[in-house]
Amino acid sequence: MGTPSSDVEETRLFAKWILEIGEGNIGGPIDGVATIDLPDDLLIKDFVDPISNLFDFDRAIRAPTNETVDEINNSLLKFFPGDEVEYLSSDTICSSEYINDTLDTTLYSPELLNGLIISGLPNHKLVLKVGVPVMLLRNLNQKEGLCNGTRL
């Protein structure tokens, strides 16, 4: 059974509105500060435990910083049953790029590499639980449906 056309249109308008905010077209000139009016149905009004309200939230979650995103992810992860599994990224520099140069490993210590937080890339430590949804950030295998934005 298909989705009613009114729901499709509402989703389309919401997606367009989110893109307009992200591109800086809503809220006035881009000078680092903008005021955006949000509809009441998008606001979380529980100031005591706002994270628990995200379970009933069926739309995109906008956050001002990556630190806020990490806080939300870590808080929501605690609500899911099961054991956490921690995955770590590689924390060394490939020395083959420096065949003719001397590699100064003190410039690229594991602590420095592990502490890098770069938008669009996963952090050094990724914690998951079975049954917790994740979203793919990069196209890995389009033929198999592993594309940017795929929920897994």
- Tell me the pLDDT of the chain (152 aa) as tens digits: 566 777 888 888 888 888 887 777 877 666 667 778 888 877 777 777 776 666 666 656 777 777 887 888 888 888 888 999 998 887 666 666 555 566 666 677 788 878 887 776 778 888 888 888 887 777 778 888 888 777 77
**109: in domain:** yes
**27: in domain:** no
Overall domain count for the chain: 1
Domain that holds residue 150: 80-152
**108: in domain:** yes
pLDDT of residue 83: 92
Model pTM score: 0.54
**89: in domain:** yes
**10: in domain:** no
Q: With b meaning 16 or more CB within 10 Å and e meaning fewer, what string describes 88-126?
A: eeeeeeeeeeeeeeeeeeeeeeeeeeeeeeeeeeebbee
